[in-house]
Structure 1
């Protein structure tokens, strides 16, 4: 379970960073800008993904190994 939480946290954090990089540099990568109902809210969604990634890492640290 710990490994799954770490992987999900990593993926959420990467997508959050990708959304912010896309918004501020114009590079076209990541999933946030491809989701239609998030138009105009890409920054908020990216920050939320970063927070979610941090929370998943924190929960993973609290889990017993194995």
Structure 2
């Protein structure tokens, strides 16, 4: 369970950071997944920030979950 949470957290963090980088610089055109969601049109930077913060929160929460080797 810990590895799953770490994977989800890292994915959210990378998606958020890549969205912010894409909206600010135009790089990472294929990585910014938020721009494909229609109702977020015009709010891509805010959605990227939310994704990055959620990724950090999930990564922090994964530290409180005991892994299989820690049982």
> Unaligned 5+ residue runs, structure 1?
none
> Unaligned 5+ residue runs, structure 2?
none
Q: Which has the larger radius of gyration?
A: 2
Tell me the matched-pair count. Answer: 66
How high is the TM-score relative to the length of structure 1?
Answer: 0.93
In structure 2, how many angstroms separate the alpha carbons of the residues matched to 1:16 and 1:26? Answer: 14
Q: 4+ residue stretches of structure 1 with deviation over 3 A? A: none
Alpha carbon RMSD of aligned pairs, Å? Answer: 0.8
Q: CA deviation at 1:18?
A: 0.9
How high is the TM-score relative to the length of structure 2?
Answer: 0.87
The aligned counterpart of 1:41 is 43
In structure 2, how many angstroms separate the alpha carbons of the residues matched to 1:11 and 1:31? Answer: 11
